[in-house]
Amino acid sequence: MAGLVLAWALAGCAGAGGVGGEPKTAAQSPDRAWGPVMVAIAKADLYDDEKTVVDLIPRRAPGLIVEDYQKRTAGGALSRAELNAFVQDNFDEPPENEARLSESADTPIDEHIKNLWPYLTRDPAATDEGQWSSLVVLPHRYVVPGGRFNEMFYWDSFFTMLGLAHSDRYDLVRDMVDNFAWLIDQYGFIPNGTRTYFLTRSQPPFFASMVGLLAEHDGDDVYQRYLPELEKEYEYWMRGAETLAPGQASEHVVRLADGTLLNRYHGSENTPRPESYAGEIALANKASNRPAAEVYGALRAAAESGWDFSSRWMADGSQQTTIATRDILPVDLNALLFHLEKTLAHAWQLEGDHARADQFEQRAETRREAINRIFWDADRGLYTDYDWREHRLSEVVSAAMVYPLAFGVADQGRADAVAAAVERELLRPGGMVTTNRHTGEQWDAPNGWAPLQWLAVEGLARYGQTRLAATIAGRWIDTNQRVFDQTGKLVEKYNVENPGVGGGGEYEVVDGFGWTNGVLLDLMARYPQATRTP
Residues belonging to the active site? 308, 492
CB 445 within 8 A of CB 431: no
Does the bond joining 499 to the residue before it have cis omega, within 30 degrees of 0?
no
C-alpha triplet 430, 512, 147: angle, nearest 5°: 120
3 state SS for 98-148: CCCCCCCCCCCHHHHHHHHHHHHEECHHHCCCCCCCCECCCCCCEECCECC
CA–CA separation, 329 and 327 (whole Å): 7
**3 state DSSP class of 528:** helix
Within 10 angstroms of residue 534's Cβ, the number of other Cβ atoms is: 12
Does the bond joining 189 to the residue before it have cis omega, within 30 degrees of 0?
no
**3 state DSSP class of 494:** strand
Q: Which residues contact 370 (CB under 8 A, 6 or more apart)?
A: 260, 261, 262, 334
Within 10 angstroms of residue 196's Cβ, the number of other Cβ atoms is: 26
Chain centroid offset of residue 151 CA: 12
CA distances from 67 to 8, 37, 77 (A): 12, 10, 14
CA–CA separation, 45 and 53 (whole Å): 9
DSSP secondary structure code for residue 20 in this structure = G
CA–CA separation, 310 and 303 (whole Å): 10
CA–CA separation, 8 and 503 (whole Å): 37
521: phi then psi, degrees, rounded to nearest 5: -60, -40
